[in-house]
Amino acid sequence: MTMTRLGVNIDHVATLRQARGGKEPEPVAAAILAESAGADGIVVHLREDRRHIQDRDLQLLRQVVTTHLNLEMAPTAEMVSKAIETGPDLVTLVPERREELTTEGGLEVLKHKEKLRKVLTALHKHPIRVSIFIDPDIRQIEAAQGIGARTIEIHTGRYANAATLNEVEEEREYILNAVMFAKNIGLHVSAGHGLNYRNVGPIANIREIEELNIGHSIISRSVLVGLSQAVREMKRLIDNA
Ligand code: PXP
């Protein structure tokens, strides 16, 4: 048994709601259910284009979440003020480009060192921990520590997308080396992106990873495992009408 924490990303509950622009499904309800099922934290990405999570979701989640609230956001002035105003337990800095479907790669810390240092300094003036989402790349990890990060999240996307067994093993090796390096220089280490019911095992068994953040696969599965009950309930209403 490992003691790795699970952060559940509920962005796609909001994606479904936004598809109709209505009120359901309610991300706050999803957060409560996830916590009561054992989630150790709730994760949301407030995107610049507000395509899923809205500002009101963030405010309500701050009031309701009793585990820890991890706000993923781009390192922009707008988001820094949002974070300071809301007070999540943790901010995870992620890159963001408007056209992308999801967060495609880690933050290039080396390239944006001074900008990121300022963002970290601003957030650290408040009781907010800050994590930086980076590829399993030793140089980026060193740079993250250099600008004052105490936690990093390793991007597992390349591992998740690896096509052959050799590639999977190779990508896991990169992750393992990155995790060990980060641990040895005193950083807290999380990991996530693209993890699902088939590929999570070999990452979850790296004990030095303290937390895994998983969204898409859990929300996708919940649609399927919940569908029979949802249909039965509707059928009963129609039959009893
Ligand atoms: N960690 C970070 C930093 C992310 O940006 C995301 C996606 O929002 C995740 C974890 C979760 O990825 P997935 O939805 O593929 O499980």
Residue 103 reports pLDDT greater than 90:
no
Amino acid at 17: R
Mean pLDDT of the region 50-78: 97
Is 170 known to be catalytic?
Answer: no
Q: 98 pLDDT exceeds 60?
A: no
Residue nearest to ligand 1 atom 7, measured at CA: 193
Alpha-carbon span 99 to 51, nearest angstrom: 11
Q: What is the pTM of this model?
A: 0.95
**Per-residue pLDDT tens over the stretch 13-62:** 999 999 999 999 999 999 999 999 999 999 999 999 999 999 999 999 99
Angle between helices 77-86 and 113-124 (to 10 degrees): 20
User: pLDDT tens-digit profile of 214-225?
Assistant: 999 999 999 999
Q: Which whole number is the average pLDDT over 105-109?
A: 89
Q: Over pLDDT 90: what percentage of the chain? A: 94
Tell me which of 12, 45, 52, 155 is the catalytic residue. 45
The question of whether 114 is a catalytic residue gets the answer no
pLDDT at 5: 98
Q: Cα separation of 65 and 8, whole Å?
A: 12
**pLDDT value of position 99:** 58
Q: Does domain 5-240 have CATH number 3.20.20.70?
A: yes
Compute the distance from residue 233 Cα to the ligand 1 centre, in Å.
Answer: 32
